[in-house]
Every structure is written in structure tokens, then in C-alpha cells.
């Protein structure tokens, strides 16, 4: 059952080939048998899942099922789930049981989806390898000596290993797309403001956006459709109707123009990856897509800009974790200052502390103008690059997603800058607020890689359609890591 696509699962449920309870139990069994090794889940919620499955079965029996009713999923542990621990990969929130649901949790529950559990992630989504999680690293199902990427490492590993048919994820600088590329999945980060951030634990508020990782663009379209939309509880969510993502999948992509930014194809990409991305371009040409060389001149500034803006916002967003009202509190502190210092010192891991310090520094009196304000100006320039390209007749932009295939544990964990350069291709989309996705395009020595599509604001439907057409013509996305196929 775990190799089925979402529409196949929905059909199976509708035709009573299996019940949601059976499907859910199947996944719970797989998690029990296989996740010990992968560490994708930090919390499995079998009771909640089976109760949701029973409710879904009743809906199906009553003929009231929607396309997602009864289909299981995993939720990244960054989304607050009522009555279930929401730890965000951190010791700080190890004891935090949320009293409310995130809007997207509410929405997917309302669709009748079944939550199997909460997924591992880099601490507070800060990381590109899932090595910063308090709950230990997640292993890449394609090679368990390698990282799955991050921060949504649990999300991709669980879908890649067949421990959930689909999973939610979040992306602040590439946290959906880079891990998707490293695990042969399709991952989409929609336009900033398309999905509510209410109940999603903030890392960098102006960059964070929720999305999904899936086995195909089609599967992703179904869940994105349900997650998207205006939410009055999030002032930055956009009040605009959601396009029909699913029925948008059948369109021809003939005559579409895709831009190839020269800055993204300069040095730095592994030769094997480059060859596969170029091959993907050829495939798309075969489908009638026109390619045009373009320039996004400010894109080399993306990484430094991001590492000012994101830590600045993070240092502010994480100030609330002080040990006073919830979360980790140091034992036996003798003064208020000591309570803060020790609670935060003990509760946060090294990478989180590093970013809080960078962020605090760039916002400090006397440095604000030189760093934060300057970064905001450059951010504007990066956005203007894309705006110009889209105004110039470019429908989508194509680039590699990651510089290389998955690296080994420990390879980059001692070198923060090398780790930060993982996100070199993905960060600009977050800074500009535009939608972007990654989809599989082949293997280098048995390890998957992907390419990235970036689109204009609210062009999710077009992007998903191009990805779907590509996946109709290729079968990379259908490959499974041998150990988990059966």
C-alpha cells in the first residue's frame, strides 16, 4: 500500500479495497519496524491516528469523503498539535504540549487526513543536515551513513522510506527543497503568505513558509490545495483565492519559457549533479519548453543577506523561550538573570545559540544600519532581479537545488560556513517571497539529486504542472531505496 500515490490511495479507500484503519495500521507497523533505524518520527501518535482513521472510515462509508479523507500523513514537529508534544527539535520544548492546533493542522484534520505522528527536524529548523536535532540525526533512507538534508529531515526521510505517504514541512532558506533533492522527493515551498503561519513555531518570520514533501508533484498538489488559503489569524497571509492546483496539472507546457540564471550554473556544482540537471533541461525541451539564458545579478549576495536577516529575526522570535511560562527551566537558579542564562544555555543547542548571537549582534545599536538595514536593501535587489526576469517574459526559473548529493554525517557539522553554503541555490526564493520547488532528476552513484523551479508570486499551479509533466516523461521519482520498497 505504501507505494501508492495519493489518488490511488483515495481510490482504494473509496472502492473499499482497504479501510483507513487498515492503511493507518500498515503505516504504524512500518514505523514500528523501520523507523528505529531512520529516526524520522520524534513522536508517534497511534491512538490519535486510529481515532482519526475510524472517523474517516465513517465519512467514506457515508459517501462524504474528499480526496484526502482517510489518508495518513506525518506532521513536521514545528506545527503545534493540540494535546500532542510539539518540541521543534529542541530540548527547550521537550516538555511542551500545545494547547492549540496550527491552522494547517486544523485544515488537514478537517480534510479527514490521519496524522501518524510528529517528524524530526533540525532544532528550530536551523540546519541543513538534521544533525542539530535534540532527538538525534535522521538517516537518509538512500544511504544510512548520509544526512537526509534539513531542516525537514524527518519529513523527507519518512516519505522516502514509506513511513507516511506524504508529510508537511517548512522552508525558511531551503528546508523543504534541499532535503527533497537529497531523498528523491518532490518538495514545494509556496509563495510567502499562501499558507498560514499560525501555530507554526517561528524561526525567521519574514522567510518561513509551510509546504509539503511528496512522492510526486500530483501528490503535493492535493495537499497544498488543502493547506493553502487566507487565515485571519496570520496578518501576513494573503487574502486571495487559491488556484485549482489539481486540475491545473493536465495542461500542456509547450511554449513555456524557462530562464536559466547564469549565476546558478557557475562553479560550485558537482559535475554529476550538473549533468543530471542539464539532462532534465533536455527532457523539458522535448516537451516543448523554451529556455533562455538570464542573469539574476544579485543572487551571489543571497547567502550573506540571509545569514543577517534570518538570525536577526530568530534572535527575536526565540526570546520568548525563557523558562518562565513553559518549556525548559533550569533547576535551582538563584536569580532571575541566572534563570534566563541557564534555561536558555541548557535548552538551546549550539547552532541555535550561534544564530541567536549573530542575530543579536546585527540588531545591536551601532550595527543595525550596517547589517540588518543593509541586508534588507540587498533583499530588495534580489527581489527586483526576479521581478525583472518575470516581467521580461520568463515564466519560470530553473536551477539545481543542491550543489551535490547527500553528504556523510559529520562532514560539515564542524564548519558552519560550509553548511550554510548548502542553501546557495534555495535561499533567494525565500528572500524574494516567491514559490519554489524541487523535483528528482536522477542519481549520482545511487544517490538522488533534484532540480529547482522558481516562479512568480502565486504561480504554484503552473510550477506544479511543469513538474507533473516532467514526471509523466520520467520515472526518477518512482525509484525507491531498495531496503524500503517492499
Partner 1 sequence: MSRIPEGWEAVIGLEVHCQLSTQSKIFSGAAIAYGAEPNTQACPIDLGMPGMLPVLNVDAVRKAVTFGLSVNAEIARRCVFARKHYFYPDLPKGYQISQYELPIVANGHLDIELEDGSTKRIGITRAHMEEDAGKSVHEGFQKSSGIDLNRAGTPLIEIVSEPDIRTAQEAVAYLKKLHQIVVYLGICDGNMQEGSFRCDANVSVRKIGAPKFGTRTETKNVNSFRYVEKAIEYEIERQIDVLEAGGKIIQETRLFNPDTGETRAMRTKEDANDYRYFPDPDLLPIVCTEDYIDAIRASLPELPEAKRARFVKDFGLSDYDAKTLTSSRELAAYYEAVVAASGAEPKLCANWVATDLLGALNKMSKGIEESPISAEAFAALLKRIADKTINGKIAKDVFEAMVAGEGSADEIIKAKGLVQVTDESAICAAIDDVIAKNPQQVADYRGGKDKLFGFFVGQAMKATQGKANPDALNRLLKERLAG
Q: Which residues are catalytic?
A: 76, 151, 175
Q: Contact between 365 and partner 1 (CB under 8 A)?
A: yes
Can you tell me which of 142, 198, 386, 407 binds partner 1, judged by CB under 8 A? 198
Q: Contact between 322 and partner 1 (CB under 8 A)?
A: yes
**Least Å from the CB of residue 443 to partner 1:** 37
Q: Contact between 230 and partner 1 (CB under 8 A)?
A: no
**Least Å from the CB of residue 235 to partner 1:** 5
Can you tell me which of 36, 63, 99, 241 binds partner 1, judged by CB under 8 A? 99
**Which of these ranges, 196-204, 214-222, 245-253, 404-412, lies near partner 1 under the rule CB under 8 A?**
196-204
Can you tell me which of 33, 324, 350, 357 binds partner 1, judged by CB under 8 A? 324
Chain position carrying cell 503561519: 197
Q: Contact between 13 and partner 1 (CB under 8 A)?
A: no
3-state helix, strand, coil in the chain (%, to 5): 45, 15, 40
C-alpha cell at 309: 536577516
**Least Å from the CB of residue 52 to partner 1:** 21
Which one, 278 or 341, has the nearer CB to partner 1?
341
Q: Are 104 and 363 in contact (CB under 8 A)?
A: no
**Residue 450, C-beta contacts closer than 8 angstroms, at least 6 positions apart:** 177, 180, 181, 184, 185, 401, 402, 438, 439, 440, 441
**Which of these ranges, 172-180, 229-237, 246-254, 290-298, lies near partner 1 under the rule CB under 8 A?**
229-237
**Least Å from the CB of residue 241 to partner 1:** 20
Q: Contact between 79 and partner 1 (CB under 8 A)?
A: yes
**Least Å from the CB of residue 389 to partner 1:** 25
CA neighbor of 348 nearest in space, from 126, 92, 93: 92
C-alpha cell at 35: 523507523
C-alpha cell at 230: 487566507
Phi (first) and psi of residue 44, to 5 degrees: -105, 135
Q: Contact between 83 and partner 1 (CB under 8 A)?
A: no
Q: Contact between 247 and partner 1 (CB under 8 A)?
A: no
**Which of these ranges, 99-107, 258-266, 404-412, 439-447, lies near partner 1 under the rule CB under 8 A?**
99-107
Can you tell me which of 52, 86, 302, 413 binds partner 1, judged by CB under 8 A? 86
**Residue 16, C-beta contacts closer than 8 angstroms, at least 6 positions apart:** 60
**Least Å from the CB of residue 126 to partner 1:** 15
Q: Contact between 378 and partner 1 (CB under 8 A)?
A: no
Q: Are 454 and 399 in contact (CB under 8 A)?
A: yes
CA neighbor of 7 nearest in space, from 216, 195, 156, 181: 216
CA neighbor of 425 nearest in space, from 448, 444, 452: 452
Per-residue x/- track, 415-454, partner 1 (CB under 8 A): ----------------------------------------
**Least Å from the CB of residue 386 to partner 1:** 20
Give the helix/strand (H/E) hosting 470.
helix 460-473
CA neighbor of 467 nearest in space, from 270, 224, 241: 224
Can you tell me which of 40, 115, 185, 201 binds partner 1, judged by CB under 8 A? 201
Judged by CB under 8 A, the chain residues 109 through 138 that form the site for partner 1 are none
Can you tell me which of 325, 414, 445, 486 binds partner 1, judged by CB under 8 A? 325
Q: Contact between 319 and partner 1 (CB under 8 A)?
A: yes
Q: Are 346 and 330 in contact (CB under 8 A)?
A: yes
Give the helix/strand (H/E) hosting 177.
helix 177-182
C-alpha cell at 455: 516562479
Can you tell me which of 224, 312, 429, 436 binds partner 1, judged by CB under 8 A? 312
Q: Contact between 170 and partner 1 (CB under 8 A)?
A: no
Which one, 29 or 95, has the nearer CB to partner 1?
95
Can you tell me which of 56, 200, 217, 220 binds partner 1, judged by CB under 8 A? 200
Neighbouring C-alpha atoms within 13 Å toward the C-beta of 68: 26
Which one, 59 or 363, has the nearer CB to partner 1?
363
Q: How many residues bind partner 1 (CB under 8 A)?
A: 43
Strand order in the sheet with 290-294: 41-44, 114-119, 72-76, 167-171, 209-214, 186-189, 436-444, 447-455, 396-400, 257-261, 290-294
Which one, 234 or 384, has the nearer CB to partner 1?
234
Upstream peptide bond of 151 is cis (omega within 30 degrees of 0) = yes
**Least Å from the CB of residue 131 to partner 1:** 22
Neighbouring C-alpha atoms within 13 Å toward the C-beta of 142: 29
Can you tell me which of 17, 233, 254, 285 binds partner 1, judged by CB under 8 A? 233
Which one, 326 or 480, has the nearer CB to partner 1?
326
Burial of 320 (0-12, 13-18, 19+ CB in 10 A): exposed
CA neighbor of 149 nearest in space, from 403, 468, 349, 353: 403
Chain position carrying cell 521581478: 387
Interface residues with partner 1 (CB under 8 A) are 79-80, 86, 88, 93, 96, 98-100, 102, 197-202, 204-206, 232-236, 312-313, 315-316, 318-320, 322, 324-326, 336, 340, 360, 363-365, 368, 372
Amino acid at each position: 500500500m505504501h507505494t501508492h500515490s495519493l489518488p490511488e490511495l483515495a481510490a482504494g479507500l473509496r472502492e473499499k479495497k482497504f479501510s483507513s484503519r487498515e492503511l493507518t495500521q500498515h503505516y504504524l507497523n512500518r514505523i514500528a519496524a523501520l523507523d528505529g533505524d531512520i529516526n524520522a518520527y520524534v513522536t508517534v501518535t497511534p491512538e490519535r491516528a486510529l481515532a482519526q482513521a475510524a472517523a474517516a472510515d465513517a465519512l467514506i462509508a457515508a459517501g462524504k469523503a474528499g480526496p484526502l479523507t482517510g489518508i495518513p500523513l506525518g506532521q513536521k514537529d514545528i506545527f503545534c498539535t493540540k494535546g500532542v508534544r510539539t518540541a521543534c527539535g529542541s530540548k527547550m520544548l521537550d516538555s511542551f504540549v500545545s494547547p492549540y492546533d496550527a491552522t494547517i493542522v486544523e485544515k488537514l484534520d478537517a480534510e479527514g487526513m490521519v496524522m501518524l505522528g510528529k517528524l524530526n527536524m533540525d532544532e528550530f529548523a536551523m540546519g541543513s543536515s538534521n544533525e542539530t536535532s535534540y532527538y538525534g540525526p535522521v538517516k537518509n533512507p538512500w544511504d544510512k551513513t548520509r544526512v537526509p538534508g534539513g531542516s525537514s529531515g524527518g519529513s523527507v526521510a519518512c516519505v522516502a522510506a514509506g513511513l507516511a505517504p506524504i508529510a508537511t514541512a517548512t522552508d525558511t532558506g531551503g528546508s523543504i527543497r534541499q532535503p527533497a533533492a537529497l531523498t528523491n522527493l518532490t518538495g514545494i515551498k509556496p509563495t510567502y503568505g499562501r499558507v498560514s503561519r499560525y501555530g507554526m513555531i517561528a524561526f525567521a518570520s519574514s522567510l518561513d513558509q509551510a509546504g509539503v514533501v511528496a512522492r510526486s508533484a500530483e501528490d503535493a498538489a492535493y495537499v497544498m490545495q488543502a493547506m493553502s488559503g487566507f487565515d485571519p489569524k496570520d496578518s501576513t497571509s494573503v487574502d486571495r483565492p487559491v488556484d485549482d492546483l489539481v486540475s491545473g496539472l493536465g495542461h500542456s507546457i509547450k511554449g513555456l519559457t524557462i530562464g536559466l540564471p547564469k549565476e546558478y550554473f557557475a562553479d560550485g556544482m558537482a559535475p554529476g549533479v550538473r549533468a543530471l540537471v542539464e539532462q532534465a533541461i533536455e527532457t523539458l525541451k522535448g516537451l516543448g519548453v523554451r529556455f533562455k539564458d538570464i542573469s539574476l545579478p544579485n543572487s551571489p549576495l543571497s547567502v550573506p543577506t540571509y545569514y543577517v536577516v534570518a538570525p536577526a529575526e530568530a534572535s527575536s522570535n526565540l526570546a520568548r523561550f525563557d523558562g518562565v511560562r513553559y518549556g525548559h527551566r533550569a533547576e535551582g537558579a538563584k536569580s532571575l538573570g541566572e534563570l534566563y542564562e541557564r534555561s536558555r544555555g541548557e535548552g538551546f543547542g549550539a547552532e541555535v545559540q550561534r544564530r541567536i548571537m549573530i542575530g543579536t549582534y546585527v540588531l545591536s545599536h551601532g550595527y543595525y544600519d550596517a547589517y540588518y538595514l543593509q541586508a534588507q536593501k540587498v533583499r530588495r535587489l534580489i527581489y527586483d532581479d526576479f521581478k525583472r526576469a518575470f516581467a521580461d517574459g520568463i515564466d519560470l526559473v530553473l536551477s539545481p537545488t543542491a550543489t551535490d548529493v547527500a553528504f556523510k554525517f559529520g562532514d560539515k557539522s564542524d564548519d558552519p560556513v560550509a553548511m550554510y553554503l548548502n542553501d546557495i541555490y534555495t535561499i533567494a526564493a525565500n528572500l524574494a517571497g516567491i514559490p519554489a520547488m524541487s523535483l528528482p532528476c536522477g542519481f549520482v552513484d545511487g544517490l538522488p539529486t533534484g532540480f529547482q523551479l522558481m516562479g512568480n508570486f502565486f504561480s504554484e499551479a503552473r510550477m506544479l504542472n511543469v513538474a507533473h509533466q516532467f514526471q509523466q516523461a520520467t520515472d526518477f521519482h518512482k525509484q525507491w531505496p531498495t531496503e524500503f520498497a517492499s
